[in-house]
Amino acid sequence: MEFEIEFTEGAGPADVEIALLGEATLEEFRRFNEILAADPRFRAGLAMLVDVSALDTSALSEQSLAGMSEPIVERDWHHPPAAVAIIAAGERTVGAARTYRAHLGGSRSNREIFETRGQALAWLEQQNRP
């Protein structure tokens, strides 16, 4: 799995934009999370745009998705995001994103799933942020 992380420095409704590409694996997802959390710009209260539309989720099981959510739950405890808009395409990827979101607490996690970047950005703009 490859990933791109871009902190936007307030240039839009998302403070950080993330793209996950290629074959999703638990090991690579954990590596991505470690790199993101170690960035000095990463902090609580960020609005995040996460694009998984080019992520191959075909090898992910329910157990894998639960495992992927564990480090995020811990990260959110220390650095809760303001809002996370997830862009997913295709039935399998959307289903995996929904399962992942459910493991993170569903709507209480303030994460929503969208089919387009425009929809995701519009939702982020509507979120109440400090």
Half-sphere exposure of 105 (CA within 13 A, CB side): 12
- Residues 6 or more apart in contact with residue 127 via CB below 8 angstroms: 13, 47, 82, 83, 110
CA distance linking residue 52 with residue 34, whole number of Å: 18
Q: Given pLDDT bands bounded at 50, 70 and 90, which one contains residue 130?
A: low
Cα 107 from chain centroid?
14
Output the pTM of the full model: 0.93
Q: What is the mean pLDDT of the chain?
A: 93
5-52, pLDDT tens digit by residue?
Answer: 999 987 889 999 999 999 998 899 999 999 999 999 999 999 999 999
Q: Mean per-residue pLDDT for 87-102?
A: 94
What structural domains and CATH numbers belong to the chain? 2-126 (3.30.750.24)
